[in-house]
Chain A
Amino acid sequence: MDLLKLQESFDAKIEKGDCIEPKDWMPDDYRKTLIRQISQHAHSEIVGMLPEGNWITRAPSLRRKMVLLAKVQDEGGHGLYLYSAAETMGISRDEMIEQLHSGKAKYSSIFNYPTLTWADIGAIGWLVDGAAIMNQVMLQRTSYGPYARAMVRICKEESFHQRQGYEIMSVLAAGTHEQKAMAQDALNRWWWPSLMMFGPPDADSPHTAQSVRWKIKRETNDELRNKFVDRTVPQAEFIGLKVPDKDLKWNEAKQGYDWGKINWDEFYNVIKGNGPCNKERLEARRKAHENGAWVREAAAAYAAKQQQKAAA
């Protein structure tokens, strides 16, 4: 088949809403965009284990400790599903990890903020997972089959993540003066970075339009962000916490909230590496990888020896 025909059949599939599968022909840019997006998503899950992992050993009750362990482990699992989905496009996990460690590949900039108190674990579950879920629910219908299937699995597993975060926050908010202050402080610090998670405004988002055309994305950054604000503000009010935005008010006409301005300067700086924890996060990942090198080598050597024995 010539290129034109292949392109036509690809376009027709996208138009019809069929999934693209690994062996299907696809335009180079579609492949590149997806590899970038899926690996970035995978890296976010893996780096995202660190800020929450920071509190596993200090979780204030055994129940909270188990929940947090299970949750951080899930993030690892989700990273794994996503790396696998990206691998179907012909890139290896080694290459992706290499790109993360060299700084070539990005991950969600939210994970460059520190978890200072226990309430941050609540805020991350509630806000960060909440924001991620909006994106992920949409991605269950993304046009690339393996990505969509990974997202279905991830969404199913993530459903407890946001709840456990909100539960932590609501217990704190209903607790002592100190606990409530801790919860409010966490909301103050995580609110704006959570809104940034949806990415730059549509007008400045270089990839959004094409991604929507390819049905990789089904909703734009701003649409998702507004939906998130509309859903989350009442949740904060319900437990007596105040969203740190003085411009926030209900707009009856549009049946949604009007709200303040995101500090995009901060966003771009954190992406560039100037966030509070960029250095620590990458360092931790590199260290785990390097310290694990001899373990992986040993396992490979053992496997090779066993194969030789079996062949002999």
Chain B
Amino acid sequence: MSNNQGILWEVFVQTKPGLPHKHCGSVHAPDKEMAIQNARDVYTRRSEGTSIWVVPAEAITASSPEDMGAFFEPANDKVYRHPTFYHVPEGVKYL
């Protein structure tokens, strides 16, 4: 107990209003209130942030590397999901 550094939290910082929150690192803290303060003190020392999320590291579920093929490759041949797949006659606007 005397070694207790607290729980590990993952920190997500939004750098400008409107942008998504991006993972930027971790902090240790005993609870969520301290976690958000610690994240502020550690990761926004150079005014890098407008908003912070903290998430207990153990609450994150990640896909595993073995699933990479099954998860992501099927999307590779679905080019029709991208706008550049479609031909539009030259000169047509607002499309």
Q: Which residues of A contact B (CB under 8 A)?
A: 1, 21, 23-25, 70, 73-74, 77, 80-81, 84, 87, 92-94, 97-98, 150, 153, 157, 293-294, 296-297, 299-300, 302-303, 306
Q: Is the CB of B66 within 8 A of A1?
A: yes
Tell me the bound Cα distance from A23 to B45 in angstroms. Answer: 30
Contacts A23-B64, A302-B30, A303-B30 known; A296 to B4 CB distance under 8 Å? yes
Contacts A77-B45, A300-B4 known; A23 to B65 CB distance under 8 Å? yes
Tell me the bound Cα distance from A157 to B28 in angstroms. Answer: 21
- With beta carbons under 8 angstroms apart, the residue of B24, B28, B64 that contacts A93 is B28
Tell me the bound Cα distance from A131 to B34 in angstroms. Answer: 35
Chain B: minimal CB distance from A140 (Å): 15
Chain A: minimal CB distance from B38 (Å): 9
- Is B25 at the interface (CB under 8 A from chain A)? yes
Instruction: Give the chain B neighbours of A80 by CB distance below 8 A.
Output: 25, 27, 42
- Is B1 at the interface (CB under 8 A from chain A)? yes
- With beta carbons under 8 angstroms apart, the residue of B6, B27, B66 that contacts A296 is B6
Which chain A residue has the least Cβ–Cβ distance from B66?
Answer: A1
Which chain B residue has the least Cβ–Cβ distance from A24?
Answer: B65
Chain A: minimal CB distance from B31 (Å): 4
Q: Is the CB of B25 within 8 A of A153?
A: yes
Instruction: Give the chain A neighbours of B34 by CB distance below 8 A.
Output: 299
Q: Is the CB of A97 within 8 A of B42?
A: no
Q: Is the CB of A84 within 8 A of B25?
A: yes
- Is B76 at the interface (CB under 8 A from chain A)? no
- Is B46 at the interface (CB under 8 A from chain A)? yes
Q: Is the CB of B2 within 8 A of A297?
A: yes
Q: Is the CB of B3 within 8 A of A300?
A: no
Q: Give how many A-B residue pairs fall within 8 Å (CB-CB).
A: 60
Contacts A21-B65, A299-B34 known; A150 to B5 CB distance under 8 Å? no
- Is B8 at the interface (CB under 8 A from chain A)? yes
Chain B: minimal CB distance from A117 (Å): 29
Q: Is the CB of A302 within 8 A of B31?
A: yes
- Is B70 at the interface (CB under 8 A from chain A)? no
Q: Is the CB of B66 within 8 A of A300?
A: no
Tell me the bound Cα distance from A98 to B5 in angstroms. Answer: 12
Instruction: Give the chain B neighbours of A23 by CB distance below 8 A.
Output: 62, 64-65
Closest 7 CB pairs of A and B: A303-B31, A299-B30, A293-B2, A84-B26, A303-B30, A94-B3, A93-B5
Q: Is the CB of B3 within 8 A of A157?
A: no
Instruction: Give the chain B neighbours of A21 by CB distance below 8 A.
Output: 65
Contacts A77-B42, A303-B31, A306-B31 known; A297 to B4 CB distance under 8 Å? yes
Contacts A23-B64, A73-B45, A77-B42 known; A98 to B26 CB distance under 8 Å? no
Given contact pairs A294-B2, A296-B4, enumerate 15 new A-B contacts (beta carbons under 8 Å). A1-B66, A21-B65, A80-B25, A80-B42, A84-B8, A84-B26, A93-B28, A97-B3, A296-B2, A296-B6, A296-B30, A297-B1, A299-B6, A300-B4, A306-B31
Instruction: Give the chain A neighbours of B5 by CB distance below 8 A.
Output: 92-94, 97, 296
CB neighbors of A among B1-49 (8 A):
1-6, 8, 24-28, 30-31, 34, 42, 45-46
- With beta carbons under 8 angstroms apart, the residue of B4, B26, B30 that contacts A87 is B26
Binary interface profile of B, 76-93, with partner A (CB < 8 Å = 1, else 0)? Answer: 000000000000000000
Chain A: minimal CB distance from B15 (Å): 13
Instruction: Give the chain A neighbours of B65 by CB distance below 8 A.
Output: 21, 23-25
Tell me the bound Cα distance from A92 to B46 in angstroms. Answer: 28
Tell me the bound Cα distance from A296 to B28 in angstroms. Answer: 11
Tell me the bound Cα distance from A23 to B3 in angstroms. Answer: 27
Instruction: Give the chain B neighbours of A94 by CB distance below 8 A.
Output: 3-5
